[in-house]
Structure 1
């Protein structure tokens, strides 16, 4: 959800003070990276999942506050849209049965919350974009009550100076405008957290960037938006545009977008925080009393509140995170590019694939990023978002190859090796990576299942909304079984 901020107006002085404070946080972080203990005896992983809320017909249910009251679980929080919820699963060690423990906890949370929310005619759905969203849901009235969301929307629109335009060309074409950031709420994701030591952070982030296109290809789950069939992972284009603070003139000038893949391989986590400070003006310039340099001099660990808040308004697909737990600082990568769903086990299969691949690439004798132009990683990423599991991707020493072949022949063995080196129990690794293997063998992930279900629907050509409602209800029925998407049948 991000850090809470009270409703307020910001002055020019606020922004000047905030910029200076972020730079002071950077000075403190630089000192900490060379002097403080960020060591990780047993690296931890975590997962956040954003849900859509739907009614019995499959339409959006704008009742997240009522649903939260019924769920009564502090692991669940609001998200940007009234039709969204988020759950944060507590972190665990990756070794042993860690991934299985997360799957069990997430499944229990989902089923509990779904039962409780039904009392207010709201049901949880793990999906990248809800197919039944309509233009009427893209208004300020659909933003959650938390002041942070309204303030962030106001600041993004003020920085942009004009309404936000959404234009996406896919099988169909979408062109619409909005005067809020509510389209961002349509982008419901699975966010994977990986704790990393400073000495390994650069390599782990580079590896995460290198595999981003592969992740999207096998995990795509967002083919429909506002009644149109667009990209296999439409979330990517939608999120990039829905929070864009740049006018057309600034885009032409080469100003960097706040939803950002990046532009280079890095050597240190400091590179990313420094880029955030240099390239992006503040959206929420809230200044705290704590002086991070004085805290360090006094032998205490600073919160770096301004640095963290600023970082939270720059939407890297692999975001660096600084935090303090039990009085000790730590770093992690927040992998933000995957859609939610289709099921809990599918989400954990995506997680196992990511964690295993990153570990193996970090340990490789010759880093993949030393053999691959950064631009090629970004091109893979956007190509996979467009065409999903059938995308042709570029990989060092392999060339251009279909994503399914790349995964089956080259990357799944690496992922297995990475999980083994992380001491993940073999049966857990085999079960989860076996799901990725079957997706590639069958050519079926969430996006291809939905596209085929829509194509088969008898009203697809005459009443799209009715067909998409039926598709959503059928999708939810399969989601609740917990069976992976490659096994899902189609009606008719």
Structure 2
């Protein structure tokens, strides 16, 4: 369980790499047709290493994992919850970054953000230079209604898959039924927001959900649960605040926090209203963990569970070690013994897998040693 498998290399995506699913093949063809050119991955890391490769398919996107957290939200409340999730995204990434290596290069702490953004980009370079929105989209403003997001989908993003339903939604609604809205749901599934609105039906009953797609997988189940507890707790508190934090923060600042969390991970500097700019770990320890505790308590989560999972977040901040940090420290230690990068990545990944199965939080793991 990791953001991007550290031992995956570009050559692993040559040949027959795609699973036998018609929708994946259609999406691959549609994205490349829209671009009119090969996909270009150009990512530089804080350490100075750079990845500069071309791909003739969406294969690099398939290297990215995602932990998706869902919240069932009343439609009229959706804007508050989405805005709150956008605010939380930066601290989420800083805490949970777990993808520092791509095709053998040490890049950003959560390189999966840039890999996914660039690999799924339907824009030719000239469109990107003209400011056309990318398909992988953080957003550009706070919203006042869930309709703002679906209207942006229609306005900014052409349909990729030419599938049409025979349903007449107005007729279904007039007859007392619940529309499937198949085209809306299909199109929404091809706009890759990091916090995405979802319209869905269960047993004929409609609902909307907030889908949080910010986090990578792993490193362990207990780390994953700690990340989820932190997110849901802070989200609940922020969404219920009478004076919401986004009323005191520019949307661009939330995106800057998101980018900083992806690039630097637990070493990121983040801005928060009333706190100024400072280390992500300090922001979490002093301000966000109490909010998470408050939010989980309000939802009736048992005290011992709150203490266990938020205690992991606290210890992670105090140690300064998350999944990305452990990976980088381990590889550098192995390279210091004379191992080359590929051998170091292989040894680190073996040690990572062993640590994953212990289900001990990653901040407690010893660094990888030569296998």
Tell whether 2:23 aligns with 1:148. Answer: yes
Distance 1:341 1:257 in 2: 27
Of the three residues 198, 206, 219, the one matched with 1:342 is: 219
CA distance in 2 between partners of 1:138 and 1:464 (Å): 20
Unaligned runs of 5+ residues in structure 2 are none
State the alpha-carbon separation in 2 of the partners of residues 315 and 210 from structure 1.
Answer: 18
Shift of 1:312: 0.2
Match of 1:467 in 2: 344
Partner residue of 2:120?
243
Distance in 2, matches of 1:365 and 1:427, equals: 28
Matches within 5 A, 1:30-429: 126-139=1-14, 141-170=16-45, 171=47, 172-429=49-306
Query: Residue 212 of structure 2 aligns to a residue in which SS?
Result: strand
C-alpha distance in 2 between matches for 1:462 and 1:255 = 44
Q: Which runs of 4+ in 1 moved over 4 A?
A: 458-462
Q: State the Cα distance separating 1:363 from its structure 2 match.
A: 1.3
Length-normalised TM-score, structure 2: 0.97
SS at 2:190 equivalent: coil
Q: Rate the CA distance shift 1:431–1:328 in 2: closer, same or farther, 3 A.
A: same
Contact persistence 1:139–1:178 (CA under 8 A): no
Question: Higher RCO, 1 or 2 (CA under 8 Å, sep at least 6)?
Answer: 2
Residues 403 and 459 (structure 1 numbering): CA distance in 2 closer, same or farther, change over 3 Å? Answer: closer
Distance 2:262 2:337 in 1: 23
Query: What RMSD in Å do the two structures reach over aligned CA positions?
Result: 1.1
CA contact (8 A) 1:139 1:180 kept: no
Q: State the Cα distance separating 1:459 from its structure 2 match.
A: 6.8
Instruction: Output the CA distance in 1 between the equivalents of 2:202 and 2:309.
Output: 30
Compute the displacement of 1:463 (Å).
Answer: 2.0
Q: Which whole-Å CA distance do the structure 2 matches of 1:373 and 1:140 have between them?
A: 46
Paired residues of 1:459 and 1:466 also in contact (CA < 8 A): no
Q: Answer yes or no: is the 8 Å Cα contact 2:269–2:279 preserved in 1.
A: yes
Alignment partner of 1:479 out of 351, 356, 360 = 356
User: Are residues 175 and 460 of structure 1, via their aligned partners in 2, closer, same or farther at CA, if it must alter by over 3 Å?
Assistant: farther
Contact 2:110 2:265 in 1 (8 A): yes
The superposition leaves residues 425-446 of structure 1 with CA deviations (integer Å, 9 ceiling, x where unpaired) of 1111111111111100000100
**Which secondary structure does the structure 2 equivalent of 1:333 belong to?**
strand
8 Å CA contact 1:139, 1:179 repeated in 2:
no
C-alpha deviation, 1:491, in angstroms: 3.9
CA contact (8 A) 1:218 1:388 kept: yes
- 3-state DSSP class of the match of 2:16? helix
Supply the distance in 2 between the matched residues of 1:165 and 1:294 (Cα, whole angstroms): 45
1:323 alignment partner, SS class: strand
Within 2, Cα distance between the matches of 1:254 and 1:273? 20
Give the Å deviation of 1:467: 1.0
Deviation, structure 1 residue 253: 1.2
C-alpha displacement at 1:403, in angstroms? 0.2
Q: Relative to 1, partners in 2 of residues 1:237 and 1:322: Cα closer, same or farther, differing over 3 Å?
A: same
Q: How far is 1:189 from its partner? A: 1.2
1:244-269 CA distance string (max 9 Å, x none):
00011101111100000000000111
**1:389·1:440 contact (CA, 8 Å) conserved in 2?**
yes
Q: Unpaired segments of 5 or more residues in structure 1?
A: 1-125
